[in-house]
Amino acid sequence: MSVLPRHLLPDTAEVADDGWLTIGGCSVRDLAAEFGTPLFVYDEEHLRARCREAVEAFGHGNAYYASKAFLCRAMARLAYDEGMKLDVATGGELHVAISAGVPSSACALHGNNKSVAELRMAIEHRVGHIVVDSFDELDRIDALMAEAVGPTPKVLLRITPGVEAHTHEFISTGQDDSKFGFNLANGDAHRAVERARRSSNVELVGLHCHIGSNVFVASSFGKAAEVMASFAAPFDLPELVLGGGLGVPYVEGEEAPTLTQWGNVIRDACDALGVTSRVGVEPGRSIVAASAITVYTLGTIKPIPGVRTYYSVDGGMSDNPRPVLYGSGYESFLPRAPFADRTAEGRLVGKHCESGDVLLRDAKLPADATVGDLLATPVTGAYGRSMGSNYNQITRPPVVFVRDGDARLVIRRETFDDLLATDVG
Ligand SMILES: *Cc1c(COP(=O)(O)O)cnc(C)c1O
């Protein structure tokens, strides 16, 4: 038997009397009929529960939602309403957060190559803090402050602690060979702290690290906390932010610590070292990934005897580039029979004009899956919509938030005219 593991579905997922999957009390069949496919369906209760869990685990004001995982105004507002602050990494993310009504004082600006314009925007808007990534960035802030663009910004310094995250190379960020942060090993971190402490253009309030993303090994976080706590101890700064990166299970057999367990590992490590600073974190994926599914329509099915069967859907690498980027795995199921035995095997592909456009290399589906069926992939709430593209001039899918039987459209489907909106030729 190969049945979809229940825990990969959003919290409120149920099977209705007619056999169809419901999320937030809404039938996936009705959602697809109303909004079309491909479609991102987010379980609002699930999102809120994860935000609350993070706030509970780390304390009010210490949990920053890493908005790059999935950002729109509804999501920014939801995270803020549930007590989280927002981690933004570009002027664009800051703009969306501010236009959602999130106070800029609740936003923290990240980025390894912040532009002068982004730094100016952050200082003018008085963001809560800027996480400074390089000596060049300190130079840029000096130049801006010489023009008196705003009040002295509070800053954290991003330190590269030399801790391996045991995740995909593209999303490992804490090792010495990294574009991010000030290296601890070669003395840059010390030099940066000295410079920031002497500077009248920044107010140094803390240190930061982020070892990587989709990390399953809780001890990696404990290790990073230890390294950072010992480095930070002599400076006696009020804040220590240990980044995000908590992994989530995507496929059968994967397991990850919960936000609460993650909080315990970090708290134990910090308590053992006598850390007195506020300890913050920046979870992204662990807040949003499992809250959503993507619903597609199954189109062409091409069996090649002795080779494999290709199942094509009406989206692909433009709504979920993770399989192509990282070789990430996903599960698939039919919303009309979510827990049916999946005895057919094949490759699930999108509609883009390249063979690399693969969603599931080895998909399992019920044997009666047929052209026109709705097909869904769970755990697509993080780094799907946000990393998506218009490749092949495809119009990006809408996003609905479902809760208590109501479906709220929060991002509409793009139109062909949207594709021309920036084309001034
Ligand atoms: C991407 C990122 C995060 C969030 O990572 P997740 O794996 O989504 O939790 C947090 N902090 C920083 C600095 C990041 O770059």
Q: Is the pLDDT of residue 86 over 80?
A: yes
Q: Is the pLDDT of residue 164 over 90?
A: no
Determine whether the shortest distance from the Cβ of 243 to ligand 1 is under 6 A.
yes
Strand segments, DSSP code E, in 44-194 are 64-66, 85-88, 107-109, 129-132, 154-160, 182-183
Cα 317 to Cα 331: distance, rounded to the nearest angstrom: 15
Contact 110 CB / ligand 1 (< 6 Å): yes
Is 59's pLDDT higher than 80? yes
**Interstrand relation of 85-88 and 64-66 (parallel, antiparallel or unpaired):** parallel
The answer on pLDDT for 168 being more than 90 is no
Q: Answer yes or no: is the C-beta of 284 below 6 A from any ligand 1 atom.
A: yes
Instruction: Count the alpha carbons within 13 Å of 133 in the hemisphere toward its beta carbon.
Output: 16
CA gap 384, 318 in Å, rounded? 8
Query: Active site includes 353?
Result: yes
Tokens of residue 49, six digits: 């529960």
Which residue from 93, 129, 210, 380 has its CB within 8 A of the most atoms of ligand 1, so it is best to mutate? 210
Instruction: Determine whether the shortest distance from the Cβ of 352 to ligand 1 is under 6 A.
Output: no
pLDDT > 70 in the chain, percent = 99
The pLDDT of residue 218 is 85
Are the C-beta atoms of residues 181 and 193 closer than 8 Å to each other? Answer: no
Which two tokens mark 385?
Answer: 């919509």
Kindly state if the Cβ of 66 falls inside 6 Å of ligand 1.
yes
- With 0.85 as the threshold, say if the pTM is over it: yes
Nearest partner of 241 among 259, 227, 228, judged by Cα: 228
Helix residue ranges, H only, 82-217:
91-99, 116-124, 135-146, 188-198
Q: Which of 51, 53, 68 gets mutated to test ligand 1 (max ligand atoms within 8 A of its CB)?
A: 68
Contacts of 122 (CB under 8 A, 6+ apart): 94, 109, 114, 130, 153
Measured CA distances, 353 to 71, 315, 350, 357 (Å): 28, 12, 9, 8
- The helix (H) or strand (E) run that includes residue 259 is helix 259-272
Please give the number of the atom of ligand 1 that sits closest to the Cα of 208: 13
Half-sphere exposure of residue 244: CA atoms within 13 angstroms, side-chain side:
24
pLDDT digits (tens, 9 = 90+) for 87-101: 999 999 999 999 999
Kindly list the distances between the CA atom of residue 296 and the CA atoms of 57, 60, 101, 289, 376, in Å, as whole numbers in the listed order: 36, 38, 32, 18, 6
Question: How close is the Cα of 68 to the center of ligand 1, in Å?
Answer: 8
Q: What is the largest CA-CA distance in the chain?
A: 71
**CA distances (Å), 221 to each of 204, 246, 259, 268, 273, in order?**
24, 9, 12, 11, 14
pLDDT of residue 32: 98
- Count, in order, helices (H) and strands (E) of the chain: 12, 20
d(CA 250, ligand 1 centre) in Å: 17
Task: Name the residue of 129, 213, 325 to mutate for ligand 1: max ligand atoms within 8 A of Cβ.
Answer: 213
CA 113 – ligand 1 centroid, Å: 16
The overall average pLDDT reported for the chain is: 96
Q: What is the pLDDT of residues 24-42, one digit of tens each?
A: 999 999 999 999 999 999 9
User: Which 3 state secondary structure label does DSSP give 157?
Assistant: strand
Buried b (16+ CB within 10 A) or exposed e, 297-329: bbeebeeeeeeebbbbbbbbbbbbbbbbebebb
Q: How confident is the model at residue 144 (pLDDT cuts 50, 70, 90)?
A: very high
Bridge partner residues of 154 (DSSP): 203
Q: pLDDT grade, residue 46 (50/70/90)?
A: very high
The residues, any chain, with a CB within 8 Å of residue 219's CB and separated by 6 or more, are 265
Chain segment 227-248, per-residue pLDDT in tens: 999 999 999 999 999 999 999 9
| pLDDT of 171 above 80 | no
Predicted confidence (pLDDT) per residue in 332-382, tens digit: 999 999 999 999 999 999 999 999 999 999 999 999 999 999 999 999 999
According to DSSP, residue 6 is labeled: G
Average confidence (pLDDT) over 297-302: 98
Of the candidates 110, 124, 116, the one whose C-alpha atom is nearest the C-alpha of residue 179 is 110
The DSSP secondary-structure symbol of 212 reads: B
Distance between CA 397 and CA 135 in Å, rounded?
40
Residue type, 171: I
